[in-house]
Copies of this chain bind each other. A is one copy, B any other.
């Protein structure tokens, strides 16, 4: 007897053990300190673009978990178009990390990707038990999202080269905290074996 209602409200996406979350990478960076953050974010974006390609090959779905920046009347498409415009500070990030048609989107109104969003439900429908958290900023939105992921009993991977913060020191502290308290795997993306992250069996929550 399947637990899932099979009406139109429950049409479930494909199963996945692991999901790659890109946090706040579609971002115009048009705020105080945005320039300094861009300096930290650019090398991160190059690493993350590679990780995203590898994830796609491994059958791991990508979910953009992105702030709506208070633009409650727009959607992700509008936000993306804005960030791809010439002259926008965050344009190089959006360019490198541009979503593809099989990626998922979750607009978040606050720091954690789980707060007042559909992310928890989406991950459950995807049967995800491990999340790879990446993006901006390591010491705020990535950290808040990681805390919430931990309370939901998800395994957490935060590749150290795929998160960036305004202050490198704060980025490092956040990684240490996530490793110590949240048992996060913080090895750089280059050391990650994506296939090994998948569950051996059909074990579940």
Q: Please list the residues of chain A having a beta carbon within 8 angstroms of any beta carbon in chain B.
A: 1-5, 8-13, 31, 67, 69-70, 72-73, 75-78, 101-105, 107, 109-112, 115-118, 120-122, 124-125, 127, 129-130, 139-140, 144, 147-148, 150-151, 153-155, 170, 173, 177, 180-181, 183, 199-200, 202-205
Whether the Cβ atoms of B153 and A10 lie closer than 8 Å is: yes
Most chain B CB neighbours (cut-off 10 Å) among A10, A73, A78: A73
Q: Is the CB of A3 within 8 A of B111?
A: no
Q: Pick 8 A–B contacts, CB within 8 A, sort by A.
A: A1-B199, A8-B69, A9-B111, A112-B147, A115-B148, A117-B117, A170-B180, A173-B173
Q: How many copies of this kind of chain does the complex include? A: 4
**CB-based contact A205/B4 at 8 Å:** yes
Determine the distance from Cα of A52 to Cα of B17 in the docked complex, in whole angstroms.
38
Of the candidates B13, B112, B139, B205, the one whose C-beta lies within 8 Å of that of A151 is B112
Docked Cα-Cα span, A55 to B191, in Å, equals 51
A151 (CB) vs chain B CBs: closest residue? B110
Q: Give the docked Cα–Cα distance between A108 and B1 (Å).
A: 26
